[in-house]
């Protein structure tokens, strides 16, 4: 790479999509003294943020309120003022369709909206997760539709997000980001932009490398979790304690990373990105059989666990249909309020299909929707627990009092090993 000396100032930053990825970025830019224009099509979210209330647990209300009252951040649904920005960062969702295929409709909508107001000299950075090639073959032509040329009239980069919601030790400020540019200058500007926010950037040579690296990071997790979920089933069938097996293997100081079994894999990233990878591979003539099989294993965990709950109830002379089961934890992971793709919600649906009387408790979630019906959480008190034939600990939120649960319940199925230190026979492990 030859030296590019042009230094740019990024005083006004536009962030399109104010969710788990976009809102923390908009906040960081505001805190660093930039003028921020946050755009979200969801008018209710815009109103909530403008009232000074954040719906992302990693973004405190007080910080949002301080930026709003200082006038550092504007939040709206209208794209027109994006033309005043030095850089526009796209953080819209890239989910799956009903048929479990990549859904680029939000991304395409956002890029068309940006293209309509694109001004010469602007830098556009895509942070949403996409399959290799999308920045160059989908985003670029849409931005160029008005006649401006990428790399010359405007600049385009891809920089996948690595945020881990709820993780207190690793965040935007201390996690290096990959970035790639359409041209060297595009990459150089993207690096300058993130560095001006105090974010370290690891440059990569091509857009497709950065796009693929993001899919590798998350598909790697999906595959390893599927392996351990499968191993948990094999170990159970052979009467071997999977948790002790993992602890033993994890004593190896090199070449092993511990993954843990559970109700499956949730969230907006891992189960989705693995499908973005395997669909893209198949479309290119290479079926990614390992990733596809991993997805099937993880997605089948709720059914497997419903079978195990049925066996547990049978062992105490009860049948699943008509039994009362309380599921503890419905978010996709510990200590956050995110329900997206949550496998424990899938477990609840499976238990309902099998005729079980299921209720739930989660300190972060007051209601869930099951097949269009809203189900409210129950109180976690002795009266409720004593009515249950079985408790299922699906997410080991720190707020749970495991000692109390181990005393008051009659049967617990622990999917998390959160109750490892309680030896009672009535506590059964995945």
Closest to 76 (Cα-Cα) out of 163, 15, 10, 162: 15
> Residue 421 pairs with which residues in a beta bridge?
none
Is residue 211 within the footprint of ligand NAD (CB under 6 A)?
no
Is residue 82 within the footprint of ligand NAD (CB under 6 A)?
no
> Residue 427 pairs with which residues in a beta bridge?
412
Is residue 102 within the footprint of ligand NAD (CB under 6 A)?
no
Is residue 219 within the footprint of ligand NAD (CB under 6 A)?
no
Is residue 430 within the footprint of ligand NAD (CB under 6 A)?
no
Q: What is the DSSP secondary-structure string of 132-159?
A: TTHIIIIIHHHHHTTS--BTTTBEEEE-
CB of 41 vs ligand NAD, minimal distance in Å: 4
User: According to CB under 6 A, which one of 54, 72, 122, 129 is a site residue for ligand NAD?
Assistant: 129
User: According to CB under 6 A, which one of 57, 76, 83, 106 is a site residue for ligand NAD?
Assistant: 106
CB of 275 vs ligand NAD, minimal distance in Å: 11
Is residue 91 within the footprint of ligand NAD (CB under 6 A)?
yes
- Residues 6 or more apart in contact with residue 99 via CB below 8 angstroms: none
CB of 153 vs ligand NAD, minimal distance in Å: 23
Q: Where are the beta strands (DSSP E) in 284-372?
A: 324-328, 357-361, 367-370
Is residue 21 within the footprint of ligand NAD (CB under 6 A)?
yes
Active site residue 34: no
Q: How many helices (H) and strands (E) does the chain have?
A: 15, 15
Catalytic residue among 85, 91, 235, 269: 269
What is the three-state SS of 152-209? CCEEEEECCCCCCCCCCCCCHHHCCEEEEECCHHHHHHHHHHHHHCCCCEEECCCHHH
Closest to 140 (Cα-Cα) out of 82, 207, 93, 203: 207
Q: Which stretch binds ligand NAD (CB under 6 A): 16-24, 202-210, 313-321, 409-417?
A: 16-24
> Residue 381 pairs with which residues in a beta bridge?
none
Is residue 118 within the footprint of ligand NAD (CB under 6 A)?
no
Q: Give residue number: closest CB to ligand NAD.
A: 19
* Interaction site with ligand NAD (CB under 6 A): 16-22, 39-42, 45, 91-94, 106, 109-110, 127-129, 161, 163, 165, 268-269
Report, as residue numbers or ranges, the catalytic residues: 269
């Amino acid at each position: 790479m030859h030296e590019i000396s042009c230094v740019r100032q990024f005083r006004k930053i536009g962030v399109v999509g104010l969710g788990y990825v976009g809102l923390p970025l908009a906040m960081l830019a505001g805190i660093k003294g930039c003028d921020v224009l946050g755009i979200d099509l969801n008018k209710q979210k815009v109103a909530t943020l403008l009232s000074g209330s954040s719906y992302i647990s990693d973004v405190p209300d007080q910080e949002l309120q301080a930026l709003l009252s200082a006038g550092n951040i504007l939040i709206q649904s209208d794209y027109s003022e994006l033309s005043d920005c030095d850089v526009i960062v796209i953080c819209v969702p890239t989910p799956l369709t009903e048929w479990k295929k990549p859904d680029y409709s939000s991304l395409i909508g956002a890029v068309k909206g940006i293209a309509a107001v694109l001004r010469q000299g602007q830098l556009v950075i895509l942070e949403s997760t996409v399959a290799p090639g999308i920045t160059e073959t989908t985003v670029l032509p849409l931005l160029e539709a008005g006649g401006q040329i990428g790399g010359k009239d405007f600049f385009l980069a891809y920089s996948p997000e690595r945020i881990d919601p709820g993780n207190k030790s690793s965040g935007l400020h201390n996690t290096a980001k990959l970035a790639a540019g359409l041209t060297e200058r595009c990459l150089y500007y993207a690096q300058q932009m993130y560095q001006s926010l105090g974010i370290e950037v690891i440059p990569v040579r091509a857009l497709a490398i950065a796009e693929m690296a993001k899919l590798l990071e998350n598909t790697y997790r999906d595959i390893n979790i599927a392996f351990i979920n499968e191993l948990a089933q094999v170990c159970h069938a052979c009467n071997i304690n999977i948790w002790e097996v993992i602890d033993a293997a994890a004593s190896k100081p090199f070449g092993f990373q511990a993954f843990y079994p559970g109700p499956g894999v949730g969230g907006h990233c891992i189960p989705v990105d693995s499908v973005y990878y395997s669909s893209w591979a198949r479309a290119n003539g290479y079926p990614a059989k390992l990733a596809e099989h991993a997805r099937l294993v993880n997605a089948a965990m709720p059914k497997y666990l419903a079978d195990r709950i049925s066996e547990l109830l049978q062992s105490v002379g009860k049948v699943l249909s008509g039994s009362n089961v309380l599921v503890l934890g419905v978010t996709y992971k510990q200590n956050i309020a995110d329900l997206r793709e949550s496998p424990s919600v899938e477990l609840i649906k499976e238990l309902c299909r099998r005729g079980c009387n299921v209720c739930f408790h989660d300190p972060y979630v007051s209601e869930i929707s099951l097949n269009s019906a809203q189900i409210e959480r129950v109180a976690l008190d002795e009266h409720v627990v004593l009515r249950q034939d079985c408790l299922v600990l699906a997410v080991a939120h720190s707020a749970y009092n495991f000692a109390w649960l181990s005393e008051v319940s009659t049967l617990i199925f622990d999917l998390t090993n959160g109750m490892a230190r309680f030896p009672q026979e009535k506590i059964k492990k995945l």
